[in-house]
Amino acid sequence: MPEIGRMLPNEKPEHPYVIFSYGGSMYKNFATRFCSGCGYGIIGHIFTRLFEDEKLDPHLYPTIIGIGCYSQMLLLVHAKSQKILALHGRAPAVATGIKMANPNMKPIIFSGDGDCLGIGGNHFIHVCRRNLDCVIFIFNNSIYAMTGGQGAPTTLYGATSSTTPYKMFENRSDGVQLALAAGATYVARTTVAHPRTYIKYFKKALNHKGTSVIEVITPCVTYFGRKNLDNLGAEYIGLEGKKMDTGGKMIDWIKRNTVRINQAKFMSEEELFNKYVIGEFRYQPDKPEYSEEYAKIQKIAMKEE
């Protein structure tokens, strides 16, 4: 078995930005490990494209990746960006160390719903509270997909998963509301069905000094779509649902199940139940940032000496 991730001698990369390939492995010439219909391809593509178009310095924009399906993205996203695979849920803590030890850097954190709102909830809250200069992506596919479709803190009410075989009865955790309460200064939610909005928010987050939290709703066909009906989030109408067993059907469902923030203001709580509200929730560019505040403390301490 030759080494994974190495090019074979006569092999060419499938994409100019991607140096890795699965050449020599059982997935020969297989550009991605993601299932068909997965949204992470779109996310990885947007990240790589923006990294190149914005001419980001790979030395100053390290990528910290949590554990989940999106961990595979580290082989897909921009080759030159320096990447760390952090432990499950600990990516915001690693980013804190990186940012503080080298304040010129701006860490970009990839995390999922289980990673950021489940096991790493505490780190997520406190990085938002400190307003540390970083970008946090929460990729929300409302399921633990890598381990085989277990229920997540974000699983919609009534959905089926392998640990909630009858139906999900727990309350849903909302990453955006949590970030708002914790004090993040740029909070937005978008979906992979709205890639242009996603690019717009990402660009804004890169130019924002402070914690930017962007939740991205992404489809998981294999473990969420196949097991659930597309009337989730619209039960009150009494629709008869169909299985969401292809990527297209899930994208359709995501589009149907999202509400813009200015539209949501006029909707009742019952109508918003199990729906995703998308848009920009907060933008406070003038709030003090943690590493800058710490530099002030250092100045005070040095003068006292």
Partner 1 sequence: MNIGNGKRFLPEGRHLMMGNVAMAEGALSSGLKFFGGYPITPSTEVIEHLAVRLPQVGGICMQMEDELASINSVIGASLVGAKSMTATSGPGLSLMVETISMAANLEVPFVFCDVQRNGPGTGFVTEPHHNDIGLVRFSGNGEFQVIALAPMTCQELFDLTITAFNYAETYRCPVYILSDAYLGHLHEIVNIPPKEEIRKRVIDRELPPPDQFVKKFTYKDDITGEFVIPRPPQMGTDYCPVLFLHQPHNYEGLPTPKPMQFMKAIMDKINKNKDKICITEKYKLDDADIVIIAYGLPVRSSYRAVDIARKENIKVGIFRLVTVWPFPDKQVKEVVKDARAVIVPELNYTGYIAEQVERVTKLGTPVIKIPKVCEFHHPDDILNVIREVAK
Fill in the per-residue mask, 237 to 276: x = in contact with partner 1 (CB under 8 A), - = not in contact: ----------------------------------------
Count of residues of this chain found to bind partner 1 when the rule CB under 8 A is applied: 45
Place of tokens 């539209």: 263
Q: Is 305 in the site for partner 1 (CB under 8 A)?
A: yes
Closest CA to 157 of 141, 139, 142: 142
**Both ends of the chain: CA-CA distance in Å?**
61
CA proximity to 33, closest of 62, 54, 4, 60: 4
* Dist CA 63 CA 84 (whole Å): 6
CB of 64 to partner 1, least distance (A): 8
DSSP-derived secondary structure letter, 71: G
Cβ proximity to partner 1, 22 vs 223, nearer residue: 22
Contact window for partner 1 (CB under 8 A) among 109-117, 147-155, 225-233, 290-298 = 290-298
Per the DSSP assignment, residues forming a β-bridge with 229 are 243
Q: For the chain, list the strands marked E by DSSP.
A: 63-65, 83-85, 108-112, 134-140, 186-191, 211-217, 258-260, 276-283
Q: Which is nearer to partner 1, 18 or 261 (CB)?
A: 18
Interface stretch with partner 1, choices 3-11, 157-165, 170-178, 250-258 (CB under 8 A): 3-11
Instruction: Report the nearest approach of partner 1 to the CB of residue 12 (Å).
Output: 18
Rg (CA), the chain: 20
Query: Is the CB of 96 or the CB of 190 nearer to partner 1?
Result: 96
C-beta atoms surrounding 17 within 10 Å:
17
Q: At what angle do helices 290-304 and 91-101 cross, to 10 degrees?
A: 40
Round to whole Å and give the CA distance between 22 and 31: 7
Selection from 150, 169, 143 nearest residue 158 by Cα:
169
Contact present, 183 and 212 (Cβ < 8 Å):
no
C-beta of 3 vs 269, nearer to partner 1? 3
Site for partner 1 in 118-137 (CB under 8 A): 122-123, 125-126
Answer for the pair 107, 82: CB distance below 8 angstroms, yes or no.
no
Asked if 300 interacts with partner 1 (CB under 8 A), we say yes
CB of 77 to partner 1, least distance (A): 10
Closest to partner 1 by CB, 63 or 191:
63
Range 56-115, binding partner 1 (CB under 8 A)? 59-60, 62, 64, 74-75, 79, 82-87, 90, 92-98, 100-102, 104-105
Q: CB-wise, 185 or 291, nearer to partner 1?
A: 291
| Smallest distance from partner 1 to CB 101, Å | 4
Q: Which residues bind partner 1 (CB under 8 A)?
A: 1-6, 19, 59-60, 62, 64, 74-75, 79, 82-87, 90, 92-98, 100-102, 104-105, 122-123, 125-126, 294, 297-298, 300-302, 304-305
